[in-house]
Structure 1
């Protein structure tokens, strides 16, 4: 035990906690595939995006090699790799976690203003924010921010501090954004003729109709102004803001009808309807979470 490499000790501790671990080589990247798996010759692992038959016992295929099995971690095939390893990574999605990777001070400041507080881990240039719950991974969801969860690895930098929060809708919404809106003329949408907000659909709202319509029209104008990019993210923000105005109402407040109007505004400037609906639904949900 005294000669066990330190990275292997860390990996075994992670595996005992149910966190799939893997070694990182110089450069803090995964080890390359073995000869049989090189250039995809093996067909890939069954749990990768392009599912294949490979079940190589060596640490091939990056994040897909991460494991909680101590017998695999200490196997003869992995022993030479641990002797060269300089760090340890883990598969957040495999542990039911999501890491919001904040790569600089500006990104950290944005997160502190926008996202629910959770467990944080200092990094060389910023912080990792850890949430309970897995989701699709996505890089560059905004300047200096990556989402690492399913089908990605994150470098292990320690357990961090603070209480871990449940993955919020605000984080999920970060991956529902388009770099450039589609051309509205070429957009295929199944949106039917929609109802508009009125007292008939909001019998339990404590606000006047003028108050609600004024706020909604301002929000719709913000979404429609995003003619080149960002309309999906704007729709999320408008839905979250408007829904938050009704958290003190006995209800119903007709939020579904408000949501349909926001979706229609986003679609009108080229946001795919599925993206628009997801962004608005996440925005409405985020307002409820913040009020809880």
Structure 2
């Protein structure tokens, strides 16, 4: 039995499970467009970002060609492609999934420390972490980490192990792009002065005021040190870390006030207020999710 037949069988099995599939050639790449579709002359497929009139029967247009239709997968137009295919890919967004592609051991270590456990699939150099839910795809969200979901494909490397978790806020936050940091002397917004965190807003906190203030000041210093880039991501990390310290408290602990101080620090180094608030809110939420 030749190699292309098992590959097509894998594709048919995935399609039967509701996972849109497409063939990959050498280099883990989709097959190029046919002559009629070359250079988007056909208008592209209707489910692409710029929909057009294309109804090409061939597997053109990369991820947009992914299908669950067995008649298409076994059609004469796809047959010669399967004979050359070396792997099967799938469209995660079309299956209601998001793949966090961890490209090396450092990225895997970061994920194990930061993200909720979910189904994992070993890759050549790292792992795929698969979550239930769809989001925009984004490459290089941090060193060695890509997000593959909507309008992108991922290589099928097996079912993996572990129970699939819901897509967490921590992953969604990775794909949020910070706006360009303003030039020195400019600020993204001007926030009103607010009272700092204190015991008056944390009547149910089990920590001493000195303990909380010391950790908070250290975190704020980390955010303010990111004067060139990354302050928003740092704000997310600080919010997540500080909130995690209070998961065992009866509450209230004044986390909203802590969050406001982190937002203010991020804005002071040029992070747009909207992004800063979203990053901090996601950080606080992620700590609660991990404690649940």
Settle same-fold status: TM greater than 0.5: yes
Question: Could you tell me which residue of structure 2 aligns to residue 260 of structure 1?
Answer: 260
CA shift digits 1:16-68 (9 cap, x unpaired): 11111001122221011122322122233333223334343321111111111
| Distance change >3 Å, CA 206–CA 131, structure 1 → 2 | same
| Alpha carbons 2:140, 2:146 under 8 Å: kept | yes
Distance in 2 between the 1:244 and 1:3 partners? 50
Please state whether the residue corresponding to 1:109 is helix, strand or coil: helix
| Distance change >3 Å, CA 252–CA 56, structure 1 → 2 | farther
Structure 1, unmatched stretches of 5+, are none
Number of matched pairs: 292
Aligned ranges 1:1-292 → 2 under 5 Å: 5-176=5-176, 178=178, 181-183=181-183, 185-189=185-189, 191-292=191-292
CA shift digits 1:128-162 (9 cap, x unpaired): 12222222211112222211111111111111122
The two structures, once aligned, show a CA RMSD in angstroms of 2.5
| Alpha carbons 1:176, 1:278 under 8 Å: kept | no
TM-score (norm 2): 0.89
| Distance change >3 Å, CA 188–CA 62, structure 1 → 2 | same
Distance in 2 between the 1:176 and 1:236 partners? 11
| Distance change >3 Å, CA 235–CA 3, structure 1 → 2 | closer
| Distance change >3 Å, CA 53–CA 210, structure 1 → 2 | farther
Please state whether the residue corresponding to 1:158 is helix, strand or coil: coil
Structure 2, unmatched stretches of 5+, are none
The Cα of 1:199 is off from its aligned counterpart by: 4.6
Compare 139-148 and 169-178 and name the one that shifted more.
Answer: 169-178
| Alpha carbons 1:98, 1:135 under 8 Å: kept | yes
